[in-house]
Amino acid sequence: GAILKISDDSQIDLGFRLQALYLASERDRNGDGDFEDYDDFKVRRARIRLGADITQWVSAFMQTEFAEDPGVGADARIIDAFIVLKPHKLAHLYLGENMAPVLRQNLTSSGALMAIDRPALAYKNLTWGTRAPLAFTNTNFTDFDAGLRGDVDVRDTGLTLFGSDSLSPELHFKYYLGVYDGVQESSRDSERYAGRVQFNFLEAEPGYYNSSTYLGTKKTLGIGLAFDLQDSVAREQGTGDNVDYAMYSFDLFCEHPLGPGSLSAEFGYVNLDLDDAGLLVDNGGGLLGVGRATGEQAQGEGFYLQAGYFIDNWQPWIDYEIWESDGPGDRGSFQLLRFGLSYFIKGHNANIKLGYEVAEADEDFAGTREDTLESFVTGLYVTY
Amino acid sequence: GAILKISDDSQIDLGFRLQALYLASERDRNGDGDFEDYDDFKVRRARIRLGADITQWVSAFMQTEFAEDPGVGADARIIDAFIVLKPHKLAHLYLGENMAPVLRQNLTSSGALMAIDRPALAYKNLTWGTRAPLAFTNTNFTDFDAGLRGDVDVRDTGLTLFGSDSLSPELHFKYYLGVYDGVQESSRDSERYAGRVQFNFLEAEPGYYNSSTYLGTKKTLGIGLAFDLQDSVAREQGTGDNVDYAMYSFDLFCEHPLGPGSLSAEFGYVNLDLDDAGLLVDNGGGLLGVGRATGEQAQGEGFYLQAGYFIDNWQPWIDYEIWESDGPGDRGSFQLLRFGLSYFIKGHNANIKLGYEVAEADEDFAGTREDTLESFVTGLYVTY
Amino acid sequence: GAILKISDDSQIDLGFRLQALYLASERDRNGDGDFEDYDDFKVRRARIRLGADITQWVSAFMQTEFAEDPGVGADARIIDAFIVLKPHKLAHLYLGENMAPVLRQNLTSSGALMAIDRPALAYKNLTWGTRAPLAFTNTNFTDFDAGLRGDVDVRDTGLTLFGSDSLSPELHFKYYLGVYDGVQESSRDSERYAGRVQFNFLEAEPGYYNSSTYLGTKKTLGIGLAFDLQDSVAREQGTGDNVDYAMYSFDLFCEHPLGPGSLSAEFGYVNLDLDDAGLLVDNGGGLLGVGRATGEQAQGEGFYLQAGYFIDNWQPWIDYEIWESDGPGDRGSFQLLRFGLSYFIKGHNANIKLGYEVAEADEDFAGTREDTLESFVTGLYVTY
C-alpha cells in the first residue's frame, strides 16, 4: 500500500485488494433434479485496508470486504479490526477481530493464493463454517455443511499470541496461540482455543500470513501442526446435548528452484470432529440453517495437495482434494480436481488466472440426480 | 482526490463525495388519501473512493456509498469495484461491479449533475430498477415501478469494453459494449447486453463518465445512441412466462459560450419495453415488491430536456420530463418540471444548489386522491 | 491522522479509531432466572475517518463504524457524513449526519473517554435511544429503554449552527443550535430542536468535541446547559396519542493540576420527559421493540459524577451514576459504580484501560431474580 507519515513513530499504510471474475458452473435452477449451465460475473473480494503504526510497539489494522446483498450496490463489511502490542518478537499480542490460526490455508493471504482460491475443505474450519464450498469456493452445498456460524464469520474475535524466530540460519519457527469467542449456539458460554506451530528449513516465512506460492523468490520447506478446539458450540436436535468442535491438522509446504523455474507444492491434512452429532440447533432449538448436514455427515477427514510451476511469469497449477465423511453411507464425502494457469503481470500485485474444477460427491447432491459439478473460472486479481 | 505514490508505476487516488440536503415535500402520512407536508434532512450521497494504478495498463477502482438503514448510523455500501486492463485506447476492459453504459445519464457523474439530481425517468433503466422516483429522485412511487432489481442495484456486475478516440480535431467518438448479470428472477439464466456510441463535435468528452454541465470550460456537441437488452429478467404472474427487458435511447448534449456566459443543454429520449407484461414475479412466483406496477404500466417512452446558463459562478437551470406509459388508461404516465439555481463556490468541487419540482401523474397516485407532488430542495455538494 | 495535500487550499485528513476489549459479565443464558458468568471479546469501535478541506471555508467529514451482524465479518456502518460551511467563527454551519449537541457526553470524543466508556445514563438522550446500557455500555436492558430509535441512531440528520469565541483571556464560550429529523414514529412530521451553551474559565475548549480528560495538558473549568426537544416522536399504545420527548441537562467539567498530577472531574445532570406515556408504538401501532419499558418508566432524572487523577501516564478513575425513574414502584431506577485504571502509552493515541462496574437496579431485571450486574473489562484503545 501507500505509506502515509503521521509523525516520527507513526504512519498509516493504505492498501486494497480486488478480485473480479467470470464463473461458468451448474445448478438446478428449474427444480427438475438436473443441473443446468449458468454463468455469473462476481466480485470475489474487494477490500480497502488501513494498517497503522501508532508507536514502535503498538499497531492497528482494519480491512473492509465486499458482500453481495440486496439494495444499493453491495454491502461493505469489516473482516479485520485488531490492535497489536509488540513488546518482544516472541510475544506479539493481537486483540480484536482477526484470523484464528489453524490451517496453513487460514494463514495464507488471499492475495497470494495459487489454485484461484483456497481448497474447498479448508472451509471445514470453524472460522469458515464447517463446510466445503465448490466451484472455486463460490457455491455452498448443504451436503457438506453443518451450519455452524460465528458472530463474525471468516474471522473470529479474540486474543492471539504470535512469535517468530530463527533457531539457526537454516531453521526457523513461528507459533500462534489464541482464545476466541468462536460459535456460541449452545446452552453455555465456552471459549475457542486454537494453536499452531510451524517450522521452516532453508529460508523463513516469518510473518503472520504465508503465501501459497512465492513465484520463485524463496527457498523453503515448511511443516505445520495445528489444533482448534471449542466445547459446546451448539446443541444436538433431539437429545439437546451440547456438541463439541475439534479440528486437528498438519501441513507441508515447499518452494524451491527446479530446472529453469520454481516449484511450489503444498499438502494439508484436516480432521474435523463434531461429536458424531445429529442435526445442530441453537440454544432455543432452532435449526442452524435449512437442509444442513448432521454433525456426523459434516465431520470426517481429508487432505488437499496443490502444486504449481512458475516460469517466466506463467504458472500452471493443479489442486486435488478428497474428503471422507463420517456420515452413514457416503453422504458428505467428495473429491475434487482443479487445474489451471496464471499469468503474472506484476507478481501478486496484478495477475490473470483461469481454472477448471470438477467435483464429485459420493452421493447425489441433495435434491438432485447429479453427483458431479463442473466449473470454469477466469478472473483478474490485484492487490497492493 | 489526493494522489499517494506507491512506486514508479503505481499509486492510489483517494477521494470522496458528499451531498447533504434539506427536502420539503408531501406524502400521505395519516392514510386519509390526502398529502401532508413534511420535511426531511438527507444525506443523498456520501462516498469514499479509492482508485489505483497497479501498472501503466492495470488499474482498479472501489467506491463506497451511504444508505439509510436501521441500526448504528447508516449502512456503508460498495457501488463500484472493478479492475481495468488498458492494452489500447480503443480497448479498455472493465471487469467487476461497474455502471452498465446505456443512457447519457447513466454515464453522467453524480458529482457533476445540473438539476440537483438525475431526471426521474433515467431510473427507468434496469440499473436503477425500471422506476421513476420523484422529489428529486428521493421518493419512489409504485405507480411507475415494475420492481425489477438486480443483485447489485445502481450498478451491475459484468464486463465492459470501452474505447475513445478522435477522427479529426473536431470529431471524436467513444463506444461502450458490455455484458452483465442484470436481473435474474426468471426460470433461466440470461445475460444483459448493453451498448452505447457517442460522437462529439468540437471538443471531446473522452472519459467513461460525462458531466451534465462543464461550467463554461468546454465547447462541445454530443450525440449518443444506446441499447440495453436482457431476455428473461423475471416471470409474469398468471402465465408464468419469462419476461424480456429492452431499452433504446438517444441523447443530445451541448455546451457552448453564449453571450457573457455558457449554455449547457441536454435532451434524452428513452423507450422501455417489458413485453407488455402483467405483474412481475420471481422464479418461485413471489411478487417483485408489494403494490408494484405491471410491466405494461411501467414501460413506455418519454424524454427529458434540461438546460442551464452558467455566468459568474451562478447557474439557473430548468428540467422538463414527460413519460407516456403503455398501461391502460393513463396509469403510469407523468410529467415533471424542475427549476432552480446553483452557486459554485469552487466548481463541481463545492457548490450550493436549490430547486423546486412539481410532478403531475396522469392518474392519482396509488391509494391517494392526489395527482400532483410538489417538492423543494436545497443542499451542499462537495467532491474531490 | 495523516494529512494528504490535494491543492493549496484543499487536503484530506485520513485517520482511524480502534477499541478492542475483553468483557466478563453476567446474563441469564439458560432462562432459569439467575445470572451466569460469561466472557466475550468485542470490537467496541473500529472506524476509518476521512476529513477534508475543500476550500478555506468549506470542509467535509465522513466516518465509518463497526457493528456486529451475521454474515461475512461485521457490518461497516457510516456514523458521520456532513459538510461544514465556515463563513465566520461564530457561525459554522453543519449539514448532514452529525452529532446533535445536547449533553457534554454527546460532545465528548469517544477517543478521549475516561471511565472506559460513556456513563450509562448518557444513552437516555434521543440520539442513543432513551436507554441506559450497562456493562460499560455493552449490554442493553429493556427495563430502562423506551425503544425510541431514529433513522440514523448514534447520530442524527440535520443542520447545526456552531460558534466559539473568547470574551476575555480567561472566559470563553461556545454554542450549538440545531434542527434534526429525530424520531419519526408518530402520525405527524415534527422536528427535533437541540441547543447547548458552554462557558469555560481559564483555558478554552474551543472545538465541537470535548475530552473527558486532557491528561494534564489543560487548565479549565467548564459549565454547560442544554435542551433537546421533539414533539410527536411516537404514539402511546391504547390512547394512540402522540408522545413528546424533552431532555434538559447541565454539566460541570474541571481539569486542573493538583499536587504532582492533574485532576479531571465531570458532573452531569440529565432530565428526560416522555409525556408520562405508556408503551410506545409506531404510526401503524406496532410496538417499538419487544418488552420495552413504558415512556413513564424510561423517563426520570439522574446524574453522573466521574473523576480521575493523571500522574506519570497512569490514571486511576471512578464513575458513579444514579437514575430515578418516574415509573410506578422503583422499576426503571438504578445506580452504578465503576472504577478502574488507565495506562497511557501515547496519550489518547494509544492506551490500555481496565475497569470494574457494579450496577444495581431497584427492582429485579425483567424476567430474572437478579438486581445486580457485575462486569469487568480490559481493552486496548488507539486513535489517530
Smallest Cβ–Cβ distance between C66 and the set A11, A78, A187 belongs to: A78
With respect to residue B53, please indicate whether it lies within any of the assigned structural domains.
no
Flag residues of chain A having pLDDT under 70. none
In sequence order, what DSSP letters do the residues of B319-355 get, joined into one string? EEEEEEE-SSTTTT-EEEEEEEEEEEEETBTEEEEEE
In sequence order, what DSSP letters do the residues of A319-345 get, joined into one string? EEEEEEE-SSTTTT-EEEEEEEEEEEE
Answer yes or no: are the C-beta atoms of B54 and A350 closer than 8 Å: yes
Answer yes or no: are the C-beta atoms of A22 and A378 closer than 8 Å: yes
CB pairs under 8 A between B and C: 139
Q: Return the number of other C-beta atoms located less than 10 Å from residue A295's C-beta.
A: 30
Rounded to the nearest angstrom, the minimum Cα separation between C191 and chain B is 8
With respect to residue A182, please indicate whether it lies within any of the assigned structural domains.
yes
- Number of domain units in chain B: 1
Rounded distance between C-alpha atoms, residue C248 and residue B49, angstroms: 41
pLDDT digits (tens, 9 = 90+) for B11-57: 999 999 999 999 999 999 888 999 999 999 999 999 999 999 999 99
User: What is the predicted pLDDT for the residue at A117?
Assistant: 98
Rounded distance between C-alpha atoms, residue A273 and residue A277, angstroms: 9
Rounded distance between C-alpha atoms, residue C112 and residue C16, angstroms: 13
B37: exposed, middle or buried (Cβ count in 10 Å: 0-12, 13-18, 19+): exposed
With respect to residue C269, please indicate whether it lies within any of the assigned structural domains.
yes
In sequence order, what DSSP letters do the residues of C285-319 get, joined into one string? S-BSSSSPPPHHHH-EEEEEEEEEEEBTTEEEEEE
Rounded distance between C-alpha atoms, residue B39 and residue B47, angstroms: 24
Domain at C365, CATH number: 2.40.160
User: What is the predicted pLDDT for the residue at C151?
Assistant: 78
Neighbouring chains of B at 3+ CB pairs within 8 Å? A, C
Q: What is the ipTM of this complex?
A: 0.96
A305: exposed, middle or buried (Cβ count in 10 Å: 0-12, 13-18, 19+): middle
Mutation target for C interface from B26, B42, B43: give the one with most C CBs within 10 A. B43
C37: exposed, middle or buried (Cβ count in 10 Å: 0-12, 13-18, 19+): exposed
Q: Do A12 and C42 touch (CB under 8 A)?
A: no
* A346 interfacial to chain B (CB closer than 8 Å): yes
With respect to residue A168, please indicate whether it lies within any of the assigned structural domains.
yes
With respect to residue A370, please indicate whether it lies within any of the assigned structural domains.
yes
Smallest Cβ–Cβ distance between A43 and the set B48, B81, B283 belongs to: B81
Domain at B143, CATH number: 2.40.160.10
- The C-alpha cell at B295 is 410491466
* C311 interfacial to chain A (CB closer than 8 Å): no
DSSP B123: G
**A329: CB partners within 8 A, 6+ apart:** A362, A363
With respect to residue B138, please indicate whether it lies within any of the assigned structural domains.
yes
Domain that holds residue A193: 17-46+97-383
Q: What are phi and psi of A8, to 5 degrees?
A: -55, -40
- Residues of chain A neighbouring C39 (CB-CB closer than 8 A): 189, 191
The torsion angle over the Cα atoms of residues B272, B275, B280 and B281, rounded to 10 degrees, is -130
With respect to residue C280, please indicate whether it lies within any of the assigned structural domains.
yes
3-class DSSP state for residue C123? Answer: helix
Q: Do C39 and A189 touch (CB under 8 A)?
A: yes
Angle subtended at Cα A142 by Cα A41 and Cα A271, rounded to the nearest 5 degrees: 105
- Residues of chain C neighbouring B40 (CB-CB closer than 8 A): 181
CB pairs under 8 A between A and B: 139
Smallest Cβ–Cβ distance between B154 and the set A72, A76, A345 belongs to: A72
Rounded distance between C-alpha atoms, residue B72 and residue C233, angstroms: 19
Rounded to the nearest angstrom, the minimum Cα separation between A98 and chain C is 10
Answer yes or no: are the C-beta atoms of A101 and A176 closer than 8 Å: yes
Q: Which amino acid is at C262?
A: S
3-class DSSP state for residue B184? Answer: coil
Flag residues of chain C having pLDDT under 70. none
With respect to residue B75, please indicate whether it lies within any of the assigned structural domains.
no
* A32 interfacial to chain B (CB closer than 8 Å): no
Mutation target for C interface from B30, B72, B79, B378: give the one with most C CBs within 10 A. B72
Q: Do A54 and C4 touch (CB under 8 A)?
A: no
* B82 interfacial to chain A (CB closer than 8 Å): yes
Residues 89-128 in A contacting C (C-alpha not used; CB under 8 Å): 95-97
User: What is the predicted pLDDT for the residue at B330?
Assistant: 87
**C122: CB partners within 8 A, 6+ apart:** C103, C105, C106, C128, C268, C270, C304
- Residues of chain A neighbouring B12 (CB-CB closer than 8 A): 1-2, 14, 16, 384
Short-list A100, A122, A107, CA closest to A305 = A122
pLDDT digits (tens, 9 = 90+) for A117-133: 999 999 999 999 999 99
Answer yes or no: are the C-beta atoms of B82 and B63 closer than 8 Å: no
Q: Where are the alpha helices (DSSP H) in B80-189?
A: 134-137
pLDDT averaged per 10 residues in sequence order, chain B, 384 residues: 96 98 94 94 98 97 96 96 97 98 98 98 97 97 93 92 98 98 94 98 98 98 98 95 98 98 98 97 90 95 98 98 94 97 98 98 95 98 98
3-state secondary structure A109-137: CCCCCCCCCCCHHHHHCHHHCCCCCHHHH
Q: Which amino acid is at B315?
A: Q
Residues 135-164 in B contacting A (C-alpha not used; CB under 8 Å): 149, 151-155, 157-159
Q: Where are the beta strands (DSSP E) in C28-100?
A: 36-55, 58-67, 74-88, 91-98
